Every structure is written in C-alpha cells, then in structure tokens.
Amino acid sequence: MPPTTGSGRAEITRDEVRHLADLARIDLDDAELDHLAPQLSVILDSVASIAEVAADEIPPTSHAITLTNVFRDDVVVPSLTAEEALRGAPAQEQQRFEVPRILGDEQ
C-alpha cells in the first residue's frame, strides 16, 4: 500500500502502530496505543506531501557534506579496560555481559 498523498489522509491504524512497535521492540499497552495512534496519523499526514516534491532525476543526499571513506593506521591505541566497559552493565558474570536467555524452549 503506497502512502496516501495530496488530499487523502495518511492513516495509520492502531494495529499498524502495534505492529511497528513490535518491529521496534517496544511493548505498548492499550492506553499508549490509543494515545499514540491518532498522533502518528497527524504526523504522517503532514509529511505525506513529500512524495510530490522531487522529480525522478534528482539525486538523493544522505549527508550534506560529501563523505569519503576514512582509514587510519593500524596501530594499537589505549582502550577501555574490561572493568570500565562492564561498569554500566545491568548484570555481569566472569568479566562478561550477562544477558537473559536468547533462545526459546523450543529452540
């Protein structure tokens, strides 16, 4: 489904918001969905006009200032110690980040 443009409204449904939040790994409860979904429709409606502005031959710009690949010499420089790197970790074990299980029972 292409975005609606011009006079049509770019609607985003409650289910779509739930799906997008799921893709973005954010739990949203019903109250949040009720609150955010209409606001997101208004925002999308306001940016929908973008589709009509630029002709096909206009090249896209990802960065305003032209980027070139940057290399550095392969030399060792001081870096964080393991203790420093782990200091902000929610949990750690044996000098490693301790994380919740990453596989389900069926896996």
Provide the mask over 43-82, with x wherever binding to other proteins is found by CB under 8 A and - wherever it is not. xx-xxxxxx-xx---xxxxxxxx-x--x-x-------x--
Q: How far apart are CA 52 and CA 64, in angstroms?
A: 22
Cα–Cα distance for residue pair 107/103, rounded to 1 Å: 6
32 lies in the binding site for other proteins (CB under 8 A): yes
Which of residues 13, 15, 91, 93 is near other proteins by CB under 8 A? Answer: 91
Q: What's the min distance (Å) between Cβ of 23 and other proteins?
A: 5
Minimal CA–CA distance to 27: which of 35, 38, 18, 16? 18
Candidate list 6, 7, 26, 74; residue touching other proteins; CB under 8 A: 26
Q: At what angle do helices 30-47 and 14-23 cross, to 10 degrees?
A: 100
Please tell me what DSSP assigns to residue 48.
G
Three-state secondary structure call for residue 84 = helix
Query: Interface residues with other proteins (CB under 8 A)?
Result: 1-3, 12, 16-17, 20-21, 23-29, 32, 35-36, 39-40, 42-44, 46-51, 53-54, 58-65, 67, 70, 72, 80, 84-85, 87-91, 97, 99-104
